[in-house]
Amino acid sequence: MKRLRFAFITTVQYSQPVHGHQLALRCVPLNDAGQHLETYTVKIMPGRLPAPQNDGFGNTVFWCSIGSEHNVLRYGSRGIARVEEPGQPAPPPNPCLRFAGFRTKPGKILTQVSSAMARGKTLAALDALCHAVHSLLRYQPGATGIYTTAEEALAGGRGVCQDYAHVFIALARLAGWHARYCMGLTVGEGATHAWAEIYYEGAWHGFDPTRDCRTDASYLRFATGRDAADCPVEQGTFYGLADQTQTVFMRVKEI
């Protein structure tokens, strides 16, 4: 178990004033069997945060409305979380996590790769899958986008953590596993990270194919789902013709 102090602040600058902003924020860590929020604050500017709600995957979501004009949107959270090592007993997984979503739908390449891999219902087999995905892709920011599918990333052989997680999840589901996408932070400074978790013998076990390792208590989950489409930090609409520039500050330290 580790106690982690986290700060996660996002600032969005608009080239012209916008208004009528409707957005959903997933900017607070999960509070479940694997991790517990000891204390936290969450803020948005301008506007006020409503009471949090949970989406269909148990993620904490703030559904916000900002009517006034604004050139800057700033939101984020700070606090302390206690994170357990992976493998804590957990309820049965959502059945949809066994089946492909739009971004993890297997095509010809994923099917061929899956058929060539050894099958096994063990954590060792998942370690081998994690290593294989790590070797199949080359980390290259900008080579893919937020809508890139696992099949497209594998065809190009390049991507970022989102793509590594999508490919791993797609292949795991082809092998018969319940797999979920995880968005969150890890110890250090930088940006959000993505990895995958597999349901095995009554518990979730994390795998990070980007770094070719299993996850541990230094990984702080903010949202989980079928793929990245279920886990955006910010999602919404506004009125106005404006370009956006986003900056993110995140820091996680072990206490």
Give residue-wise pLDDT tens across range 220-234. 999 999 999 999 999
Percent of the chain topping pLDDT 70: 100
Q: Show the domains of the chain with their CATH numbers.
A: 2-84+233-254 (2.60.40.2250), 95-230 (3.10.620.30)
What is the structure's pLDDT at 205? 98
Helices (H) and strands (E) in the chain, counts: 4, 15
Q: Which string of DSSP letters, residue by residue, matches 99-160?
A: S--GGG---HHHHHHHHHSPP-SSHHHHHHHHHHHHHH-EE-TTSS-TT--HHHHHHHTEE-
Cα(93)–Cα(190) distance, integer angstroms: 31
How far is CA 29 from each of CA 83, 181, 216, 221, 222, rounded to the nearest angstrom? 10, 15, 16, 6, 4
Say which residue the tokens 């082809």 belong to: 174
pTM of the model: 0.96
Indicate the SS3 state at residue 215.
Answer: coil
Cα(15)–Cα(35) distance, integer angstroms: 39
Cα(219)–Cα(59) distance, integer angstroms: 16
Q: How many residues does the chain have?
A: 255
**Amino acid identity for residue 229 in this structure:** A
What is the structure's pLDDT at 218? 97
pLDDT band per the 50, 70, 90 thresholds, residue 117: confident
How far is CA 242 from each of CA 18, 71, 210, 234, rounded to the nearest angstrom? 7, 9, 34, 17
pLDDT band per the 50, 70, 90 thresholds, residue 40: very high
